[in-house]
Amino acid sequence: MSMFQDIPVEVSVIYEGQRIRWPDTHVELGGPRVEHKFELVRVKPLSEVEDGRIVIIGPDLKDMEKRSYPFGLYIEVAGSQLGEELEGVIERRIHEYCNYIEGFMHVNQRYDIQIRLSEKSYKKGLNSFQIIGKVLCRLFKSELPIIERIQITFITDPEKVADMYREALGIYEKRDARVRGLKDEDVSEFYGCNLCQSFAPTHSCIITPQRYSNCGAISWFDARASAMVDPKGPIFRIEKGDCLDPLKGEYTGTNDSIRKNTGGEITRVWLYTAFGYPHTSCGCFEGVAFYIPEVDGLGIVHRGFRGPTVNGLPFSALADSTAGGRQIDGFHGISIEYMRSKKFLQADGGWKRIVWMPEAIKERIKDFIPKDIVDKIATEKDASTVEELRIFLEKGGHPIVERWKEKEKEAEVRPRLAEPVVTEDKVEAPEALLKGTITTVAAPGTFRIVLKNARIRAEKITIKRLD
C-alpha cells in the first residue's frame, strides 16, 4: 500500500529490489552509457536550506526521450545534530528511498549511479522530478528525524552535471582519506551493513577501517556515525571478538555477525582474501577481483571499464559471477578504496598477486601500489589475452613468476596420476586414479567442487588436508 495518496504511483518498501529492464524503461538517468553522473549530499547551516525546495536544472522527465542522460542528484540537508561525517551515510540512503518508488530503480552509488524510470510508472503520471523530490524529502525526514530541513536539486543539463561531477569527486576523495591511517587493530569494533539485502538477502557487509564497504560509499567512520544516530537502521556495531587469523582476517565477532545476518546461510568470513570464505558481494561493488587460473594471479576490473577483460569476459559477466550474496572462490566484490588499504587481499599475496587491471583504475590508485610492482601489472594496453599476459608477466619479472617456479618444483616431486578420460556426457576415470590419491592444488590450496544432478558410487572416499 502506498505511503502517499497525492503521488501517482505507489511508494512502499515492497519495491526495494525492483529491476527495470531496458525494454520497459521510459528514460535512464546516469548508467554505463554516460560519462557524467553523481549523487551527493552536503550538510549545510539551517539558514542555507529551504525546507522542501525542489530545483530542476535542465530538462524535466516529461521533456526526455528514451535514452541515457547525464544526471546529478544534489541534496542539501540541515539540522542541529548533523555534521559532515554523516554526509556519506545520508547519501547512501538515496539508494534505498528511490527504490521505494514504484517503477523508479536505483543501483550503485556516488559517481556510478544508474536510475531507470519505467514506462508503466511514467504513464501513471510519474513525469516530473518535482514528484520524485517530494517523495524523497518526505522519506528522508520521516526516516531520519535528525534532518530538520532538506532541499533537492535534480540536474540534467550536461554542462552543469559535468562541472558538479568534478566537484563531487573531490568531496568523495576527501571523505575516503579520513579513514586512511587507521588500522583494524586500533579499534575494538567493526560495523555491519544490511542495506543491500533487498537485492541480495545473504549479503551483509563488514566494514572495518582497512576494509572499506564494497560499494565504496561507507567508511568505518561513516558507519560508526550512522549506527550512533540511527541505532535501528541498517548499519550496526559488531564487537570484533577474538582474532582467529590475522592474515586472512577472521574474527569471532564477524563470524557471529555474518551467521546472524544471513539467517545461518554464511557462517564464516575472511576479510582479506578472495578465496575460502571471502566477504560476500551484493551487486553494488565498485570492482571485481577475479582469479585467472592460467597465470595463478588475480585480475581487477571496475564497473566503468567497457571492453572485455584479459580473460575475454566483460565486467557485467564477472559481476554476475560475483554478486548475489555468495562466497565464490576467486570472484570477489571490492571497492576502490579497499585497494588503497595495506590489508588489500593480503592473504592472497596482496599486490604481488595482481596481474592485470584497466589503465584508468591503475592510474587512479597508482600511489598506493608498491613502486616495484606497479609497472609489472599489465593493463588492457599490454595484454588482451591470457597468453599475452603470461608473456608480459615473464618479460617484466612480475613476482607471480617466482610463484610459478615454486609450483613447478612442487609438481616435480608429486607422483603423476593417470588422467581421467572425459567424453561428451561422462567422465571415465581409470582404475589407477580411482584407487590413488587425487590432489587438487589450486591457488590458495583449496577448491570447492559442486556436483549437480550427480550420482556417485564409491566404496570409500578419503579427503586429506595437504599442507
Q: Footprint of ligand SF4 on this chain (CB under 6 A)?
A: 92, 193, 195-196, 205, 213-215, 217-218, 282, 284
The kind and range of the H/E element at 227 are helix 220-229
Q: How far is the CB of 291 from ligand SF4 (least distance, A)?
A: 22
DSSP secondary structure of 287-352: EEEEEETTTTEEEEEETT--S--TTS--HHHHHHHH-SS--BTTEEEE-TGGGGSTTTTGGGTGGG
Q: Which amino acid is at 202?
A: T
The C-alpha atoms of residue 366 and residue 2 are separated, in whole angstroms, by: 48
Contact predicate 234/219, CB 8 Å: no
Q: Please, which residue, 284 or 345, has the CB nearer to ligand SF4?
A: 284
The C-alpha atoms of residue 17 and residue 421 are separated, in whole angstroms, by: 45
Q: How far is the CB of 159 from ligand SF4 (least distance, A)?
A: 30
Q: How far is the CB of 284 from ligand SF4 (least distance, A)?
A: 4
The C-alpha atoms of residue 290 and residue 357 are separated, in whole angstroms, by: 10
First to last CA, the chain: 58
Q: Please, which residue, 283 or 444, has the CB nearer to ligand SF4?
A: 283
Q: Please, which residue, 101 or 282, has the CB nearer to ligand SF4?
A: 282
Q: Please, which residue, 25 or 197, has the CB nearer to ligand SF4?
A: 197
Q: Which amino acid is at 132?
A: I
In a 10 Å sphere around its CB, with 0-12 CB exposed, 13-18 middle and 19+ buried, how is residue 119 labelled?
middle
Q: Please, which residue, 156 or 204, has the CB nearer to ligand SF4?
A: 204
- Grid cell for residue 360: 584508468
The C-alpha atoms of residue 347 and residue 414 are separated, in whole angstroms, by: 25
Q: How far is the CB of 234 from ligand SF4 (least distance, A)?
A: 7
Q: How far is the CB of 272 from ligand SF4 (least distance, A)?
A: 17
Q: How far is the CB of 333 from ligand SF4 (least distance, A)?
A: 8
Q: Which residues contact 131 (CB under 8 A, 6 or more apart)?
A: 7, 8, 125
Q: How far is the CB of 426 from ligand SF4 (least distance, A)?
A: 42
Check the CA dihedral 178-183-187-193 and report its sign: positive
Q: Please, which residue, 195 or 389, has the CB nearer to ligand SF4?
A: 195
Q: How far is the CB of 329 from ligand SF4 (least distance, A)?
A: 21
Q: Please, which residue, 127 or 214, has the CB nearer to ligand SF4?
A: 214
Q: Please, which residue, 108 or 151, has the CB nearer to ligand SF4?
A: 108
∠ CA(283), CA(286), CA(289), 5° rounding?
Answer: 90
